[in-house]
Each structure stands twice: as structure tokens, then as C-alpha cells.
Structure 1
Amino acid sequence: MKLSTEKNSGDEVATRLVQTAISLFGEKGTTTSLREVQRKAGVLNEAAIRYYFGNREAFLEACIRDISKRFELITSTVWKEFNEKKALHPVTTADVSTVLVKSFYLFLLEDKASVWLMARMIREESDFGQDLLIRYFGDFIWALEDEIRKLMPQKAHQMVRMHLFLAINNTLNGMVDQDLLWRLPDLEGKKSNFRLDYEEFAKGFISYISAGIQAG
């Protein structure tokens, strides 16, 4: 019984470290010190991250693994809606774009820091970060690519992949950077800032992404 209790305690500490790291890395960047993560998580042992994860890279991977599991719960629901529509009517590139945009947008509403961290892995962790994202989110990417190829069989596979990755990058970073849009002045010259409701924003984003995917 003692061993079981110690294991559960260790799992709780490791989980707390990962959750804290996602929040801090997402908000402040992946260069945030591991010591700050441990302090914010309330873990006094300065060797805790090394003990539970080995090194910084393995710790970052644990964060991305945790994010991917929660993201998959959202994408499974969005794909289900897509497949139900597909069974009744022919789908379009806008429908595929909806899967992409809606998945990230719902995840953003649930956990902004996780989406921010995904974007930071591209910007701040170069090859290592990008390889991690492809490894853990590859199934989602390849499923999108497969649907686009079916819809656009005449389009070269190289172009499908390039436009899809541009769409993913634009969606991810657009979600992270959308606060800039809300800082723009109102179109009618009022003192208030520019605003769109969530549905209008999502529809606009889907139209933009869909147009990019359809480009020759």
C-alpha cells in the first residue's frame, strides 16, 4: 500500500509540473526557467523535473503529449460532425477548413495556454519543436490532407501539402494573435475597438483558409 501511495503522489507532482509548465510556457515562452515552473507548481525539490522527466526536452515533450491527448478529444467530436454531414451531402473545402478552424478554436476557448504553447513550439523551438508537433498531431494533419486530396484530385500532392501546412500555420498563429484585431479602431471612427462575435470571426477565418487551400 505504501508503494501505491508513493506512486500516486509522484504522478500528482508530475501532472502538476506539466500543467504549470503549459501555462507558463504558453504565456511567457519556452525559455521560461524550469526553476520558475517548479516554484509556480509549488514543488520544492529543485531536481523534480529531472527526476520525473529526465531533461528539458523530455519535459517539453510531456507537455505536448498532454496537449495532444486533450486536443484529440475535441477533434474526434469535430470529425464526427464532418463524417455525419459527409454521409448525407457532398462536402467541400470549406467543410474541411471548418474541421481545422473549429478544432483549434474550441481548444482555444477551453485552454488558451495550450494553443499558445503549440504556436511557440513552431517559433521558439525550431526543428525540435516542429518535429514534436508533427509526431503528436500528425494523424490530424494527414486526415485533413487525405480529405483535401479526395476533393481536389487534380491538384498536385506537393501543393496540397504546402497549402495545408500554410493553412495550419495561419490558423494556429491567427488564433494566438487575434487580440491584435480587437485593438484596431472601430470602422466607423468610434472610440471603441473593432469587434466581431465568435461566429463571425470563425466564419471569416474558414473562408480565408478555404480560399488558400483551393488556390492553384
Structure 2
Amino acid sequence: MNAKPTHHDSSQPAVAEDARKPRSDGELSRERLLHAAMRLFGEQGYSKTSTREIAQAAGANVAAISYYFGDKAGLYQACFAVICTPTADNIDQFAQPHFTLREALQGYYTQMIAPLMAGGDADAMLRLFYREMLEPTGIWQQVIETNILPEHAALVQVLCRHLGLAAPDDGVHRLAYAIAAMCVQMLIARDVVARITPQMMDTPDAIAAWAAHLVGYAETLVLAEKNKLQQGKA
């Protein structure tokens, strides 16, 4: 699972003039509907959330949902379109052939923690994903096929390159799952971390520091696997 922050980072270079123009009332209304829908769908599920309820929470007319999204299903799909970064963009961050192992792992975890960098939207985004996993409408399977599967395959190829393997075996897939799982812990156990060590995820800098440590842990796992393979050939 990968998501993109919806807040603006003032530390980034100036954007084009058109991007700095004030948003129209229509754009603001559409954004309010998306935010309200993400929150309510995540809290209550797709079937138990009505378009009237979403419109009321967004301070918009229910007809606006039909205008911008077609229907409730279109709005639900639009929520995931907001959350999910294009798969190719995610893969580009870690699967460059010239990357060192550390650079590849840094890129991999950077795109993995993107949902946590979404500021106040992070909880709504993650809860929506959890709800879809628990009460699937079909979109979760689409996410697996169009996002998770190709990103896993790309990571496996990165690992094969650094392990000196021509093709992956179960051990490489297992290693890829383990590397991902260390970050998945950050995504699904936020309440646990907030209760035990809240300082470890209470700011973007803290989240980035945790991800940086994961790079070191993952690098150690890959090097241990490489040593094991080399010993097996000896």
C-alpha cells in the first residue's frame, strides 16, 4: 500500500504560477467531499455510509456528489485515486539500475512512509485502507494487482541484482516480504506506538528517522542473505 501526502510542503521549491492560484469554489467543494468521504468510509464502511451523510459532513449539496463523481461508487473510487500514488512513480523511487543497495532501500521506504507524511489526512487514509481490507468491495483486489504486486516484483528484481541471482526463488520473495513488513508495522500499529513510544511517530522528522533506521536493518538482512548464498556456493 502506497499513498501520497495531500498537504503542501513549504520547504519544496516554488511551484508554477498556475499551481499557486486560489482554488475555485468548485475545487474546494470537491476536496471537502473527498475528505469527508475518506473519513466516513473509513469509520463506517462503504455500505453503511450514505451520500447524504457525506454531503452534510462536507457542507455541500448532495447533488454535488453526482456532479463531481457520478455516484457513491465513483466517489469511493476517487478516494483511492487521491490516496494511491501511480505505481510507476513509486517504483522509480527505488528500482533504478544504478542505485546502490542503500539508495534502493532508501527510495523504497520513502514511498512506503508517504501515507504517514500526509499530516492530518494520514489517519483517514489509513483507516479507509483498513476498512476496505476488512470489508472488501473489489477495490482492494485492484490495489493488490495494480500496485502491490508490481511493486513487490520490482523490489524482488532489485534484491536479485544485489544478491547476484538471475531469477528469484522463495527465499528472495521471503526477504522482500520481510523488508516490507518492517514498514507495514509503522502503518498498521500507529495506535500501539502512540501508547508505548509516542515520540517515535509524532512528527514527520521522527517518522523519517525511523525509516532511516529501517534502511540499515534491511541492508543487514540483504547482506546476511548474500553471505548465506555465497557460503552455499563454496
Gaps of 5+ in 2: 1-23, 201-205, 229-234
8 Å CA contact retained: 2:112, 2:183 = yes
8 Å CA contact retained: 1:149, 1:157 = no
* Residue matched to 1:147: 158
* Residue matched to 1:190: none
Relative distance call for 1:116 and 1:50 in structure 2 (3 A) is: same
Gaps of 5+ in 1: 1-7, 185-192
TM-score (norm 1): 0.61
8 Å CA contact retained: 1:17, 1:38 = yes
Q: How many residues are treated as equivalent by the alignment? A: 191
Q: What RMSD in Å do the two structures reach over aligned CA positions?
A: 4.1
Residues 1:19 and 2:35 aligned together: yes
Deviation string, structure 1 residues 32-61 (Cα, Å, up to 9, x no partner): 6134322211233279359834443x4332
* Residue matched to 1:160: 172
Relative distance call for 1:29 and 1:106 in structure 2 (3 A) is: same
Q: Give the one of 143, 150, 160 matched to 1:133.
A: 143
Task: For 1:30, give the aligned amino acid.
Answer: G
Larger RCO: 1 or 2 (CA < 8 Å, sep 6+): 2
Residues 1:204 and 2:204 aligned together: no
Give the distance between the partners of 1:208 and 1:163, measured in 2 at CA: 12
Deviation string, structure 1 residues 117-158 (Cα, Å, up to 9, x no partner): 464156323472431222442554443232122223167444
Relative distance call for 1:105 and 1:69 in structure 2 (3 A) is: closer
Deviation string, structure 1 residues 62-94 (Cα, Å, up to 9, x no partner): 211222248876x48844xx74xx64xx622x4
State, as a whole percentage, how many aligned pairs show the same letter: 14
Residues 1:68 and 2:80 aligned together: no
* Residue matched to 1:45: 62
